[in-house]
Structure 1
Amino acid sequence: MVIGSLKTPGEVVTQRLVLFPAHPSLDAYTTASDQIDFRQLFLNSTIVTVVGATIKVLLALTTAYALVFVQFPFKRFIFAVILVALMVPAQVSLIPNYTLIAALGGVNTYWGIILPGLGTAFGTFLLRQQFLSLPKELVEAAEMDGAGHLTRLFRVIVPVSTPTIATVALVTVVNEWNDYLWPLVVTSSARMMTLPVGLTLLRNSEGDVSAYPVLMAGAVVVIVPVLILFAFLQRYIVAGLTQGAVR
């Protein structure tokens, strides 16, 4: 894709294989930036990703903590419901979510994009399994010292669960950044579109040969931040997913 974005249209659509461009050019990136406002789209994606991912991680932390360390009725049933949520495709709730958000005036707003996806069954499940593997003596000692639930969570549980929390955070950030379907449905203004949705503003007619390098250039802009994030923090993903696997 990166190589294709540096090619001319004739080198992308051709009957002979062209592995590398004869004269690499950034014209596709210039054309893409002329057609869509990458700065605004990048800002929208950043706001949605940072706010949405932060709330999701906090909700996953507090929910997982409650499911492990707080005694209340129907705890197992609630966890089973959370597991069922993992099996429900997001497309099933698309129309009900849009009806609700539209009725509340959330179309073409940041909160309208963020709100329906705040529940994170995956993060809750992964953190719960991690918390179950922790020695109960840690929490009991903090409780004996007079620490409340929030103190136990953020000063005892979180420091010893950093790899798993980092894994949940990274997966959540990537999902928020790459989310396409819901932002596409709930936004119609180019000023509120996220980067993946903004790519639809590029000319993508199959009959237009010159559109392919431009589309590839736009896709590179969307993917590069995620690749950089994974390159620097991939060890946390491996550690978090394997932590507690062997007991």
Structure 2
Amino acid sequence: MTARTLSITRSTMGLLVTCSVAVAAAAAITAVAAWRRNRIWLSFGSLNGALLVGSLILVDLFGTTGLAEAAQRVREAGDPVRLVTPENGTRVESLGDPPPPPAFTWAEAESEARALVAAVVEQTEEPLIVVDRNTTHRTAYDPAAALPRIACTPASEGGPGEQLALVIELQSDDGGLTKQRILDAWRVLGYPETGTMRSESFAGHEEDSPLRYLSVNDRYTIDGTLTVRIESRCL
């Protein structure tokens, strides 16, 4: 969720709290001195009270401009707000609507996907088999053929959408060398490895990309295959 933020440092907040406590203490000393008719303590409490009030005025003028700016921005935005207190300071956060997802085209998604598949081809001599997710039909990979799509629901309004959903199988090898070469090639293209779950490794783009899901699953010890999955956003 996007947020408009302005920080108020902990030093400023600490100073405000310290001054408030000190003013309360000075007021208590002055009250006790007046009750006991002690002129020395009465004078001491009055003097300290005046100094602390002056300090509060200075803090208000010079130390809380961040809060004033935050309040002004909140009024201008008209959004709901929340107070966030991380390690480095307190800030007022205005909660607006999240930004729309990046707009990508089918041409961009197919271009990225074909580049990743070409990297797979370069890292193995085994034939690539495309598995249709809707029918499980298997065909030899053809670089000139259209990439498979499935129906999906886009994040924004506008009716049903489609997403690229490519599943490729090839023969694996002992030691997972092919899998590692594919991941290394994808990293060069801007899709480094992001995690692993058992025999499956995942990759993702360093920034926004029309592709949202990439994985390489090495099942050599199970059925001797390596499965590559490439999916786009809902377009």
TM-score, L = length of structure 2: 0.24
Larger radius of gyration: 2
More helix by share: 1
By relative contact order (CA 8 Å, sep 6+), the higher-ranking structure is: 1
More strand by share: 2
